[in-house]
Each structure stands twice: as C-alpha cells, then as structure tokens.
Amino acid sequence: MNNLSWQKSSYSNLNGNCVELSNPRGLIRDSKNPEGPVLQVDIEVFLEAVKTGRFES
C-alpha cells in the first residue's frame, strides 16, 4: 500500500472529519488516522450510497 496516493474530497471541511480515496481506486481510509484500517470497496456503489443518504443516521 506504500505506492498509493490518497485524496480528500473537495467537500471535506477543515476540521479533518472526512475520508480519503486511494489512487488507484478501491480503498477508503479515515483522514484522521492514515495509518489505521483501510476498507476495500466498490467505489461506484459506495459513492451512490453516499449520494442517496444511506449513511445518514
């Protein structure tokens, strides 16, 4: 995983509460804990879930 680059969303706020997406695509991590766990996801499915609000409480 050392050869990955990571990108925060342009919508992330300045308090650091956001996720980062890997390049190449398919991995997600918490920007506050870059050495922590990494999730492998189907990025298109994940983004659709976010857009439709399926992660809201």
Q: What is the pLDDT of residues 22-55, one digit of tens each?
A: 999 899 998 888 899 999 999 899 889 888 988 7
Higher pLDDT, 31 or 9: 31
Instruction: Calculate mean pLDDT across residues 3-29.
Output: 84
At 19 the pLDDT is 85
Report the distance separating Cα 20 and Cα 34, nearest Å: 9
Q: How confident is the model at residue 16 (pLDDT cuts 50, 70, 90)?
A: low
**Phi–psi pair at 20, nearest 5 degrees:** -120, 145
Residue whose pair of structure tokens reads 């920007």 in the numeric block: 31
In a 3-state reduction of DSSP, which class is residue 47? helix
Q: Flag whether the pTM goes above 0.75.
A: no
